[in-house]
Amino acid sequence: MGYDLIVVGGGPAGMLGAAAAAEKGLKVVLLEKNEKLGKKLYITGKGRCNVTNNGDMDDFLRNITTNKKFLYSSLYSFSNQSLIELLHSLGVKTKVERGSRVFPVSDKSSDVIKALSRHLHENHVEVRLNTEVKRVTQEGSCTTGVMLRNGSLVKGQKVLLATGGLSYHQTGSTGDGYRMAGQLGHSVIEPKPALVPLVCREKWAKDLQGLTLKNVSVSAVVNNRAVTEQFGELLFTHFGVSGPVILSISSYLKNYWSQAPVKLWVDLKPALSIEQLDMRLQRDFQTYQSKHLKNALDDLLPQRMIPVIIGLSGLDEHKQINQITRLERDKLAHTFKNITITATGTRPLAEAIVTSGGINTKEINSSTLESKLIKGLYFAGEVIDVDALTGGYNLQIAFSTGYLSGSSAAQN
């Protein structure tokens, strides 16, 4: 006997899709190739799981970087508040942190996974682990089920592909959904890394590995055109730069790497105008008159950054402060507000927090998430060509599209 719905992939999208369909009376099986559910969910938010964002719809739409309009129906049918209510009903209390990020009070992603597993169980979803799907079977333009890696067939009227993207593939997201949908005639927008660290050219930046700069502003400039400006925390690494501000920037740069290198203009003091910064320098120089330049900037910069800034300004670090000319002070202030880092590319897709690209949204009905090409085939989560910035938006997209696809499968 067949199933009403076969869900492929036990990540947040698949789990919610399966539960939503079963809640509405469908006989549902969830097939997951890993030995457990939610392997990627487990590592989200450094194990704390930034499950959604508490912002309003406008805020959500501002933070979605690819195909926001496509997501309207999904986000309206299962909003951040719906998710928070569901988690509460399943015994997971939540809290809101900086930037309206929502986490479980326990700070444990495993609590979210356990709750969703219970939700599946209570709705009588049959969960089969260690079960890898190889392809979706079809008759004419309708789905008939799936074929497993071991060659056996699982029959089902409808199939929901929730196999995730291509990043952090050790968690099971190995791009299988792109291949399976491609076999059925779907086009796949080239998967590219998003929310990913950037590789840079400057040796001084790599030498600063481990140093974090807080509250800086970074503008990405390609061919003299500013692509985006972001504000936040920057981290130097052995290959270049990372940290929240860089991850956000990377999501806007995904279509610009053919025009690399990209210039990153870092403003270390975005809250001060150049005149205010100059006044601040004059005050500090008054206090440290008899010191050498390298010993006079401690109030403005982290220790390791001082020789770098002095070097980039072309000044002599041993010059005594009362010998520094106005021109030299100007140079220093300008460097504070405009350090250039040359980004030559991104780290590989495997290291990206999300995959940008995926199943072409033009071939999916945004109100049901059913394929426009194959009847009975649905999509949810990162396998679709959608992605967002950090802050809980990507998980909400997975949950919302999961819910909408599962409930539409039950209605159609």
Contacts with ligand FAD by CB under 6 A lie at 8-14, 31-34, 39-41, 43-45, 49-50, 132-133, 162-164, 167-168, 172-173, 176, 353-354, 381-382, 392-395, 398
Closest distance of CB 100 from ligand FAD, Å: 12
The Cα 263–Cα 223 span in angstroms is 9
Handedness of CA 312, 314, 320, 321 (dihedral sign): negative
Closest distance of CB 167 from ligand FAD, Å: 6
Helical (H) or strand (E) element with 310:
helix 306-313
Helical (H) or strand (E) element with 149:
none
Closest distance of CB 259 from ligand FAD, Å: 27
Which of residues 59 and 284 has its CB atom nearest to ligand FAD in the complex?
Answer: 59
The Cα 173–Cα 317 span in angstroms is 50
3-class state of residue 337 by DSSP: helix
Q: Long-range contacts for 283-286 (Cβ within 8 Å, ≥24 apart)?
A: 285/321, 285/322, 285/324, 285/329
CA 406 to centroid of chain Cα atoms: 23
Which of residues 6 and 200 has its CB atom nearest to ligand FAD in the complex?
Answer: 6
The DSSP code sequence of 232-287 is EEEEE-SSEEESHHHHHHHHHHTTTGGGPPEEEEEES-TTS-HHHHHHHHHHHHHH
Closest distance of CB 165 from ligand FAD, Å: 6
Closest distance of CB 200 from ligand FAD, Å: 22
DSSP state of 223: T
Which of residues 119 and 329 has its CB atom nearest to ligand FAD in the complex?
Answer: 119
Which of residues 41 and 312 has its CB atom nearest to ligand FAD in the complex?
Answer: 41
Which of residues 27 and 48 has its CB atom nearest to ligand FAD in the complex?
Answer: 48
Closest distance of CB 4 from ligand FAD, Å: 19
Which of residues 39 and 269 has its CB atom nearest to ligand FAD in the complex?
Answer: 39
